[in-house]
Amino acid sequence: MGLTEQIRRKMGEAFRDYRMIDEGDRILVAVSGGKDSLSLFHLLRQNAVHAPVHYSLIPVHIDLGTCRSKVELLTDHFRESGGDFRIVESEVGRNICGAEDLPESCCFHCSRIRRKLIFKTARDLGIRKIAFGHHRDDLIETCLLNMFFAGNISTMLPRQELFDGEVVLIRPLAYCREEWLRDYARLHALPVREEICEEGGARSRRRRIKKILSELESETPGVKGNLLHSLMNVHEDYLPKPVRRKRKTVRNERSKGVG
């Protein structure tokens, strides 16, 4: 099976498992300019030709002022692809990365602001469904990050409803390996321009997790697949239950006076 067919098969499984796309959907595709989101947009556009349901795509790029070179590149790509698109520009990212009190890196803060602007753009356009290019490795890394640094077991969902269903997030690449998307972007000569951010370099927690997983996978092929499967195969009876401890209260006792 060829690379493209392999990716499409995994996307099809995700579509069926989570009912990601319905008839008449208008889908905002968040395109950062990296290999994952550009591959997602290209795959969804190709899939629309033969899909059993009709849907339309509006790619949106959020530029926070930290990598201006992407704007012209993506604008040309979107125009060549045809259809509507949006470029949303902001100087917020430049201000964040210049702050002195950020923990380790500004990646989390930039990501949160970019997400807010995506939601606002979708609302302004009257769009309910938003597609992100997160893949299998992203889901695994997020779970480990939350376990190591947040003290909980959770990850990004392939399909997630927010604000009482007002917004629906879909991740069609949830079953796809990161290396597949890297090869796919090269195969189709997509204009990939990964953002180079000094603040989010080697110190990034996600990069550290990615390196650990890569080493484990090279030693024992299949480790990443097992981790993803484990998220869907939870044996709750063999997990410790949450313990509720009574809050300690200070009892104020009035001393008795001597008569």
What does the pLDDT read at residue 192?
92
Q: In which residue are the tokens 């998220």 written?
A: 231
The predicted pLDDT at position 228 comes to 92
pLDDT computed for residue 56 by the predictor: 96
Q: Does 33 fall in a domain?
A: yes
Does 242 map to a domain? no
- Tell whether 48 is covered by a domain: yes
Decide if 249 is inside a domain. Answer: no
How confident is the prediction along the chain (259 residues), in pLDDT tens digits per residue? 799 999 999 999 999 999 999 999 999 999 999 999 999 999 999 999 989 999 999 999 998 876 556 888 899 999 998 889 999 988 766 665 555 555 555 566 778 888 999 999 999 999 999 999 999 999 999 999 999 999 999 999 999 999 999 999 999 999 999 999 999 999 999 999 866 555 555 457 888 999 999 999 999 999 999 999 999 999 999 989 888 776 665 555 444 444 3
For residue 94, the enclosing domain spans 3-202
C-alpha 175/C-alpha 173 separation (Å) is 5
71/210 Cα distance (integer angstroms): 28
User: What secondary structure, in 3-state letters, does the chain show?
Assistant: CCHHHHHHHHHHHHHHHHCCCCCCEEEEEECCCCHHHHHHHHHHHHHHHHCCCCEEEEEEEEECCCCCHHHHHHHHHHHHHCCCCEEEECCHHHHHHCCCCCCCCCHHHHHHHHHHHHHHHHHHHCCCEEECCCCHHHHHHHHHHHHHHHCCCCCCCCEEEECCCCEEEECCCCCCCHHHHHHHHHHCCCCCCCCCCHHHCCCCHHHHHHHHHHHHHHHCCCHHHHHHHHHCCCCHHHCCCCCCCCCCCCCCCCCCCCC
Distance of CA 129 to the CA centre of its chain: 14
- Residue 140 domain-assigned (yes or no): yes
Q: What is the CATH number of the domain that holds 7?
A: 3.40.50.620
| Residue 251 lies inside a defined structural domain of this protein | no
pLDDT of residue 245: 72
Q: Which of 208, 60, 38 is nearest to 124 (CA)?
A: 60
Burial tier of 77 (Cβ tally within 10 Å: 0-12, 13-18, 19+): buried
The pLDDT assigned to 256 comes to: 46
| Predicted pLDDT at 257 | 46
Q: What is the tally of structural domains in the chain?
A: 1
228 in a structural domain:
no
Q: ∠ at Cα 146 (60, 204), nearest 5°? A: 65
Tell me if 191 sits within 8 A of 80, measured CB to CB: no
Alpha-carbon separation of residue 171 from 20, 53, 105, 132, 194 (angstroms): 8, 18, 25, 5, 20
Residue 236 falls within a domain, yes or no? Answer: no
- The pTM score is 0.85
